[in-house]
Chain A
């Protein structure tokens, strides 16, 4: 057989045995919400971080509780952007003190924000931040906002495993 003939034949065989692009390896891998294992195995993960996203509703709860995603509900997109804003605001205002994800619950027009906070600043300063956050967020979102924080003495308490 000629060389070109061999190539043609190989192409024919490989096309019969080839896999489609939708099952190719690159597309089938997911990276979101997963943390890489370190060689020293000393990277701390909270329970939230340790469970990848496909465990939501199985081993994890949701961080954001509202009814805007039901059928026929209004303002879905605005709700999501508001939640993103609240999370950024919390992380920025309580700088390096927020130890968990910020949990946002909406009941009627009352927004309840819960988070785990480190006891890194004095309680008086914390009260200042609480008053400031509640007030400013309620001005921004035009809903009454309450904070429901849990303070933790030792940041190591939130660590679930080391990876």
Chain B
């Protein structure tokens, strides 16, 4: 589907309200007294005006990404949501496409003039269909690999003669895609959210041996340099290095002219050819010398391939080699792309190596320039740069420079996919939280980027909460809690414990305006934690296990707002579900609860608390019993129960204390 944001050529952009008249004048005679100079028409492509207008559109922090529907119900607020919404939409598109293909006889009407190919059903080939060479060429043009293979097989079955050109283009298609159907261009969300399985397969050979590509290769007679180049590059791309290197050596021996891309692909896989670092380096040097002998001039791909191999070489002199290569290529006049800088960072800023400030030099060179995709690994630069800033260098200013560079011009296109974007922001955020003053962090970064551009992972959230704890900026707690709910992070024990601890330790200052309602809010939050987890536990098969400490802290917070009903619910949970609760609550919680009961005059509840204390086995339960007795006027039932839990001696001790007190009073009087 040519969606508005992707297809502009299908829309004509002059609004029709009435007849639009355009007049043009010509010069007829050349004898003119004054020469009239007409300035030249400024050339523009079909989309330049649109691009110019789109430059005027700024950034809206309250809106989600434009691919999401702008409705409160449909705006994603968690990473899961973002991913599932975008992919659900794309699967809807796929199903529509499927229906169109299934019922292609219904979609034969041609309304659009000129016809828009993207809306029309594509031709499907089956084993029985009658095919011609033109079908094969169109399939190759549109990169339909499985269609091309099928048509080729059919043509072979019917003994149709194919020219070498057609065979060559088919071979190129098959080598590029490794005889697999590629993901369609339309499916941008799937491409964006693909969790980079290629990384895992990076070092594995995936080339399909003896499949259609190789068969076709052997069939093509005579073999042109393009054929050899094609098969070598395909095999290198999918890590079938032995065969590729063998064919490569043959070509060199037979003096067949290979082009620079062929050399580049071999350079890329040097580390599979030899095992030790020195041998790899010597192979690389040999290849480069061969290139020079054959008169093959290197290009950006050569630079990046060399740097790639150097970074993976495992040699001690890798850094020197890298610098050598960079200077040499600079002298030739080849501009390095972001991929080259990525490889350099990879070589220099190793985890377990010495600290290297090469990133500063890199930024000095590239800052303020607009880059475009020139190499497939360009997208790795920003993630690595931010990673280096955070882990290797711990430099906030450098990180800000990297961020400014990312947002310069069209550089944001090089962020890669969703995974890289999230890692980039994760590193950036942790660095900001740790290094930037907290208020500034919240105002300039958190409120703007969260939740639409970036959603903090639980680890980042933990850092933020720790910063809140350190700075005491508790008026952010309600916002952070509601964000935690949105981002579905409420089942994280450490986060819950942290937030509760913060609420306990920092009493809101009621004189400050922003903190007026905080006391109420805190107890709401505590109750929220309780109710949410209980709700979740009902629905889930794997319930979250409460800890006694957490429940106790929640109880304490609720007690501060003097809500006896809620507090007693928690108390009952503590009492009744002891086998499900991990650990025990703090004693202070019990004290607070009993004080609350005394204020609200609910002796039975206080005695329940005493029951819990004795069952747990607190040492101070006797003191608790005394507090209860002093605080309430207990009737028989209650006294009996107190005695049962706290022991006979309690009553006597209380009476003794009361006697001492009255004696003391008499003395003072």
Q: A and B: direct contact (Cβ < 8 Å)?
A: yes
A residues near B, CB below 8 A? 67, 78, 107-110, 119, 123-136, 138-144, 146-147, 149-151, 153
- A132 and B100 alpha carbons, distance in the complex (Å): 11
**B115 contact set on A, CB distance < 8 A:** 142
Q: Which of B7, B12, B69 meets A130, CB within 8 Å?
A: B69
Stretch among B87-95, B155-163, B331-339, B366-374 lining the A interface: B87-95
**B361 contact set on A, CB distance < 8 A:** none
A128 touches B88 (CB 8 A): yes
B617 CB, nearest partner CB in chain A, Å: 48
B111 touches A142 (CB 8 A): yes
A131 touches B88 (CB 8 A): yes
B83 CB, nearest partner CB in chain A, Å: 10
A/B interface sample: 22 pairs, CB < 8 A: A107-B15, A108-B15, A109-B10, A123-B74, A126-B73, A127-B86, A127-B88, A128-B88, A131-B91, A131-B92, A131-B93, A132-B96, A134-B1, A134-B92, A135-B1, A139-B100, A139-B121, A140-B107, A143-B111, A144-B7, A144-B10, A146-B4
**A127 contact set on B, CB distance < 8 A:** 69, 74, 84-86, 88-89, 92
A153 CB, nearest partner CB in chain B, Å: 8
Interface flag for B11 (CB, 8 Å) = yes
**A126 contact set on B, CB distance < 8 A:** 69, 73-74
Interface flag for B165 (CB, 8 Å) = no
Nearest residue, chain A, Cβ from B80:
A124
A139 touches B107 (CB 8 A): yes
Nearest residue, chain A, Cβ from B14:
A108
B90 touches A131 (CB 8 A): yes
**B12 contact set on A, CB distance < 8 A:** 108-109
Q: A124-B84, A127-B89 are in contact. Are A135 and B96 (CB under 8 A)?
A: yes
- A144 and B84 alpha carbons, distance in the complex (Å): 24
B112 touches A143 (CB 8 A): yes
**B69 contact set on A, CB distance < 8 A:** 126-127, 130, 147, 149
Interface residues of B in 575-604 (CB under 8 A from A): none
A124 touches B85 (CB 8 A): yes
Interface residues of B in 83-139 (CB under 8 A from A): 84-86, 88-93, 95-97, 99-100, 107, 110-112, 115-116, 119-121
Nearest residue, chain B, Cβ from A143:
B112
**A139 contact set on B, CB distance < 8 A:** 1, 96, 100, 107, 119-121
- A143 and B97 alpha carbons, distance in the complex (Å): 15
Interface flag for B16 (CB, 8 Å) = yes
Interface flag for B514 (CB, 8 Å) = no
Q: Which of A107, A128, A146 meets B92, CB within 8 Å?
A: A128
**B10 contact set on A, CB distance < 8 A:** 109, 143-144
Q: Which of A128, A140, A150 meets B89, CB within 8 Å?
A: A128
- A109 and B84 alpha carbons, distance in the complex (Å): 30
Q: A109-B11, A109-B112, A110-B11 are in contact. Are A144 and B92 (CB under 8 A)?
A: no
B116 touches A142 (CB 8 A): yes
**A128 contact set on B, CB distance < 8 A:** 88-89, 91-92, 95
Interface residues of B in 7-21 (CB under 8 A from A): 7, 10-13, 15-16
A88 CB, nearest partner CB in chain B, Å: 15
- A70 and B13 alpha carbons, distance in the complex (Å): 19
B14 CB, nearest partner CB in chain A, Å: 8
B549 CB, nearest partner CB in chain A, Å: 36
**A107 contact set on B, CB distance < 8 A:** 15
Could you list 19 further interchain pairs (A-B, Cβ under 8 angstroms) beyond the known A131-B96, A144-B1? Answer: A108-B11, A110-B4, A123-B73, A124-B85, A124-B88, A126-B69, A127-B85, A127-B88, A127-B89, A131-B89, A131-B92, A134-B3, A139-B100, A139-B120, A142-B111, A142-B120, A143-B111, A147-B69, A151-B73
- A142 and B7 alpha carbons, distance in the complex (Å): 13
From B4, B73, B86, B120, name the one whose CB has the most chain A CB atoms within 10 angstroms.
B73
From A107, A135, A139, A151, name the one whose CB has the most chain B CB atoms within 10 angstroms.
A135
Which 9 residue pairs are nearest across A and B when measured between Cβ atoms?
A131-B92, A132-B92, A135-B96, A131-B89, A127-B88, A142-B112, A136-B96, A151-B73, A128-B92
- A143 and B1 alpha carbons, distance in the complex (Å): 9
Interface flag for B2 (CB, 8 Å) = yes
A109 CB, nearest partner CB in chain B, Å: 6
A142 touches B119 (CB 8 A): yes
- A21 and B96 alpha carbons, distance in the complex (Å): 54
A24 CB, nearest partner CB in chain B, Å: 45
B91 touches A151 (CB 8 A): no
Interface flag for B365 (CB, 8 Å) = no
B649 CB, nearest partner CB in chain A, Å: 61
**B11 contact set on A, CB distance < 8 A:** 108-110, 144
B98 CB, nearest partner CB in chain A, Å: 10
B93 touches A132 (CB 8 A): yes
From A67, A139, A143, A146, name the one whose CB has the most chain B CB atoms within 10 angstroms.
A139
**B88 contact set on A, CB distance < 8 A:** 124-125, 127-128, 131
**A134 contact set on B, CB distance < 8 A:** 1, 3, 92-93
- A108 and B116 alpha carbons, distance in the complex (Å): 15
Nearest residue, chain B, Cβ from A146:
B4
**B116 contact set on A, CB distance < 8 A:** 142
A141 touches B111 (CB 8 A): yes
Interface flag for B293 (CB, 8 Å) = no
Interface residues of B in 602-639 (CB under 8 A from A): none
Interface flag for B71 (CB, 8 Å) = yes
Nearest residue, chain B, Cβ from A153:
B73
- A142 and B1 alpha carbons, distance in the complex (Å): 10
- A139 and B99 alpha carbons, distance in the complex (Å): 10
Contact with A along B470-500 (1 / 0, CB 8 A): 0000000000000000000000000000000
